[in-house]
């Protein structure tokens, strides 16, 4: 068997949009992804449906996979002929141990690419409103590890050079050694009044900051139990934050959202909420298996007076089937309906006008003039007429354990239901023992449209936020204006 290929990819500092184009292309081509704790799990959504996902994350008190085991696994999977992606937070060449992994691959004759990423020492300060350099405040910048392989883990650095020769210093993962760092910088000539800022979860919507000076910051961090993952930035340039703070002023900054998914396509709503500063976790992740359609239905398309597309995915699948079978779509003389606003838009993108499924009315019994197009999971919801099955949709079990880890580190304060079907997914489907009902008791609940609100009410819950219109912009605006949310 031919050897595979390995991509050692920098995932960026947290914001999923900060991965490079080349890094994302590698993710989309992967057979196996070994990912770190600091690589945003949202990036895994772009992996192929059958991609194997392996967690290599390290926490301060425990290791899931030690470096030697990671090296061995990279070699093992590549020797099986697979495309392997090692997805690392930040930049793999900045305190990312990429050299050790590349060396192991080289020793076994395995080809690899190293894909740089945006490092957190640069990005986290920028998201806190602080550039790394500025002509008036600092023209030199250093990135420094705040722990090493010594017995006590305290870094052995050229303290005098740092204190007197560098204007701005970014310490990586420095909270545990913060007193040691501050003492040594002061001891070797850095003024005690030098501004310092701690930035936790930089570039995420849950970003936290703490400002002080070399003389005060260690005690401040202890008082509020500030913890890693964090960047410690030292220098006069920190004072620019008062003028340049931009990210934390976004209308949904601080919102940590669980967005319930019913489709397999990337969510426009998730992108909208993220663009306004929210942390968005989408769940569950669905996979689709295409099925062969009923040939009798294909041969009799012209006989239907009404066709209902239950999802945007069903639109794509249907037209793909027609193209593969060289069917002239002009045979379809029916009036078209969409099961959601997104389905209606998907048809409009193909130049076809459709109405909402609600316009079909409350017909009962058989309807030979109606064709319902969709995946197997919605068949019972549309008992009338014939059913054109496009695919089998299943929850990807790999993402249940990923969600559990994400919920450990995030503090979800908002649950968004984009459709009535999403209520059923979260409360009735078997998605693991995560405790969704406990979460719903604590979080603010937001619904896209009155139909979704009614579905939630049937389950015994009231929506705290209801969008004026059933679109993503309206829901985002309603969340920003909510008076209940204690985050503002």
Q: Which of 78-92, 104-118, 293-307, 342-356 has the lowest mean pLDDT?
A: 293-307
Residues 321 and 350 in one domain: yes
Residues 216 and 360 in one domain: no
Asked whether 415 and 443 are in contact (CB, 8 A), the reply is yes
Residues 242 and 140 in one domain: yes
- Output the pLDDT for position 392: 86
Pairwise CA distance, residues 414 & 255, whole Å: 7
Domain-embedded: residue 486 = no
Instruction: Write out the residue range of the structural domain in which residue 406 sits.
Output: 256-285+396-481
Residues 51 and 179 in one domain: no
Pairwise CA distance, residues 478 & 488, whole Å: 14
Domain-embedded: residue 274 = yes
> Catalytic annotation on 36?
yes
Residues 203 and 340 in one domain: no
Beta pairing partners, 259: 282, 416
Query: By C-alpha distance, which of 169, 24, 136 is closest to 87?
Result: 24
Residues 129 and 238 in one domain: yes
Reported as a single tens digit per residue, the pLDDT across 319-362 is 999 998 898 888 888 999 998 888 999 999 999 999 988 887 64
Residues 404 and 270 in one domain: yes
Domain-embedded: residue 488 = no
Pairwise CA distance, residues 468 & 454, whole Å: 15
Q: How many domains in the chain?
A: 4
CATH label of the domain that carries residue 207: 3.30.950.10
pLDDT at residue 387 tops 80: yes
Residues 303 and 238 in one domain: no
Q: Which of 63-77, 180-194, 215-229 has the lowest mean pLDDT?
A: 63-77
DSSP state of 303: G
Pairwise CA distance, residues 134 & 226, whole Å: 28
Determine the average pLDDT of the residues in 412-421: 92
3-state secondary structure of 112: strand
CATH label of the domain that carries residue 16: 3.40.1010.10
Domain-embedded: residue 35 = yes
In 53-153, which ranges are continuous DSSP H helix? 67-79, 98-107, 120-127
Which of the following is catalytic: 58, 335, 424, 451? 58
pLDDT at residue 395 tops 60: yes
Express as a percent the part of the chain with pLDDT over 70: 94
Residues 18 and 105 in one domain: yes
DSSP state of 134: B
Determine the average pLDDT of the residues in 400-422: 88
Pairwise CA distance, residues 226 & 453, whole Å: 38
Question: What is the full DSSP assignment across 9-69?
Answer: EE-BSS-GGGS-HHHHHHHHT-SEEEE-TTS-GGGGGGS-TT-EEEE--EETTEESS-HHH
pLDDT at residue 59 tops 70: no
> Catalytic annotation on 22?
no
- Output the pLDDT for position 166: 95
Q: Distances from the Cα of 404 to the Cαs of 11, 83, 227, in angstroms? A: 21, 27, 20
Domain-embedded: residue 217 = yes
What sign does the dihedral 339-342-348-350 (CA atoms) show?
Answer: negative
Which of the following is catalytic: 88, 91, 143, 173? 173
Residues 130 and 167 in one domain: yes
Cis before 43 (ω within 30): no
Determine the average pLDDT of the residues in 304-321: 92
Residue that is last in its domain, among 54, 88, 118: 118
Q: Distances from the Cα of 303 to the Cαs of 66, 297, 335, 356, 370, in angstroms? A: 63, 9, 12, 21, 9
Angle at 262 between CA 256 and CA 264, to 5 degrees: 100
Residues 87 and 159 in one domain: no
Predicted model pTM: 0.86
Residues 148 and 281 in one domain: no
Q: What is the mean pLDDT of the chain?
A: 90
- Output the pLDDT for position 193: 98
> Catalytic annotation on 406?
no
Domain-embedded: residue 206 = yes
Domain-embedded: residue 111 = yes
When pLDDT is cut at 50, 70 and 90, the band that residue 364 belongs to is: very low
When pLDDT is cut at 50, 70 and 90, the band that residue 446 belongs to is: very high
- Output the pLDDT for position 399: 84
Q: Which of 162-176, 348-362, 457-471, 474-488 has the lowest mean pLDDT?
A: 474-488
Pairwise CA distance, residues 385 & 389, whole Å: 13
Reported as a single tens digit per residue, the pLDDT across 8-30 is 999 999 999 999 999 999 999 99
Asked whether 33 and 51 are in contact (CB, 8 A), the reply is yes
Beta pairing partners, 53: 33
pLDDT at residue 363 tops 50: no
Pairwise CA distance, residues 177 & 155, whole Å: 8
- Output the pLDDT for position 485: 56
Pairwise CA distance, residues 464 & 447, whole Å: 8
Reported as a single tens digit per residue, the pLDDT across 127-162 is 999 999 998 888 899 999 987 666 577 888 899 999
pLDDT at residue 163 tops 80: yes
Domain-embedded: residue 157 = yes
């Amino acid at each position: 068997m031919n050897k595979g290929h390995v991509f050692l990819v920098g995932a960026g500092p947290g914001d999923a949009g900060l991965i490079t184009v080349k890094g994302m292309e590698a993710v989309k081509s992967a057979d196996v992804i070994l990912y770190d704790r600091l690589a945003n799990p949202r990036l895994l959504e772009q992996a192929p449906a059958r991609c194997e996902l392996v967690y290599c994350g390290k926490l301060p008190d425990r290791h899931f996979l030690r470096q030697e085991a990671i090296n061995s696994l990279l070699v093992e999977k590549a020797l099986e002929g697979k495309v392997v992606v090692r997805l690392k937070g930040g930049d793999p060449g900045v305190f990312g141990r990429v050299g050790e992994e590349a060396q192991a691959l080289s020793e076994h004759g395995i080809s690899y690419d190293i894909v740089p990423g945006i490092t957190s020492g640069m990005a986290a300060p920028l998201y806190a409103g602080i550039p790394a350099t500025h002509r008036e405040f600092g023209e030199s910048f250093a990135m420094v590890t705040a722990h090493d392989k010594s017995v006590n883990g305290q870094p052995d650095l050229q303290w005098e050079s740092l204190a007197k020769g560098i204007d701005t210093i970014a310490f990586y993962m420095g909270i545990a050694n913060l007193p040691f760092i501050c003492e040594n910088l002061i001891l070797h000539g850095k003024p005690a009044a030098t501004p310092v800022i701690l930035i936790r979860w930089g570039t995420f919507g849950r970003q936290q900051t703490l400002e002080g000076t070399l003389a005060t910051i260690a005690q401040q961090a202890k008082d509020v139990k500030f913890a890693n993952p964090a960047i410690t930035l030292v220098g006069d340039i920190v004072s620019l934050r008062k003028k340049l703070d931009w990210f934390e002023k976004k209308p949904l900054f601080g919102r940590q959202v669980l967005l319930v998914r019913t489709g397999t396509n990337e969510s426009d709503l998730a992108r909208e909420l993220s663009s306004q500063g929210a942390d968005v976790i989408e769940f569950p992740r669905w996979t689709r298996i295409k099925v062969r359609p009923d040939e009798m239905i294909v041969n009799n398309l012209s006989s239907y007076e009404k066709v209902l597309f239950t999802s945007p995915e069903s639109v794509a699948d249907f037209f793909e089937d027609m193209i593969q079978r060289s069917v002239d779509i002009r045979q379809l003389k029916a009036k078209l309906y969409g099961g959601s606003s997104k389905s209606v838009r998907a048809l409009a993108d193909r130049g076809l006008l459709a109405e909402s499924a609600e316009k079909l009315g409350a017909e009962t019994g058989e309807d030979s003039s109606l064709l319902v197009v969709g995946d197997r999971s919605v068949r019972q919801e549309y008992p009338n007429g014939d059913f054109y099955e496009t695919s089998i949709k299943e929850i990807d079990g790999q993402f249940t354990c990923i969600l559990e880890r994400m919920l450990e580190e995030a503090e979800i304060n908002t649950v968004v239901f984009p459709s009535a079907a999403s209520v059923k997914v979260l409360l009735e489907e078997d998605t693991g023992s995560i405790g969704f009902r406990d979460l719903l008791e604590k979080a603010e609940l937001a619904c896209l449209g009155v139909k979704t609100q009614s579905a939630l009410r049937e389950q015994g819950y009231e929506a705290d936020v209801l969008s004026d219109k059933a679109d993503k912009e309206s829901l985002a605006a309603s969340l920003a204006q909510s008076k209940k949310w204690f985050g503002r």
